[in-house]
Amino acid sequence: MKKVVGIGASVLDTLISCGKYPVEDKKVGAEGINLVGGGPVGNALVVLSKLGTGAEIIGNFASDGDGRILLSDYEKYGVKTENVKIVKGTDAFRSYIILAKDSKTRTCIYDRGNVPDSVSGVNLKAIDTADVLHLDGNFMQCAIYGAEYARSKKVSVSLDAGGLYEGIEKLLPLVDFLIPSAEFALKFSGKENIIDAIGYFKLKYNCKVIVVTDGSNGGYCLTEESRIEKYHGFKVGAVDTNGAGDTFHGAFLHYYLNGKGVAESCKYASAVSAYKCMNLGVRNFELNEKIVEEFIAKNVYAD
Neighbours of 127 (CB within 10 A): 24
When pLDDT is cut at 50, 70 and 90, the band that residue 302 belongs to is confident
pLDDT at position 44 is: 98
- Positive/negative CA dihedral, 254, 255, 260, 264: negative
Distance CA 99, CA 37 (A): 16
Task: Kindly compute the dihedral angle of the four CA atoms of residues 60, 4, 56, 91, in this order, to the nearest 10 degrees.
Answer: 30
Mean per-residue pLDDT for 67-87?
97
pLDDT tens column, 122-151: 999 999 999 999 999 999 999 999 999 999
Which fold is adopted by the domain 3-10+40-90+117-298?
A: UDP-N-acetylmuramoyl-L-alanine:D-glutamate ligase (3.40.1190)
Q: What pTM was computed for the model?
A: 0.94
Neighbours of 158 (CB within 10 A): 30
When pLDDT is cut at 50, 70 and 90, the band that residue 103 belongs to is confident
Taken as a whole, the chain contains a residue count of 303
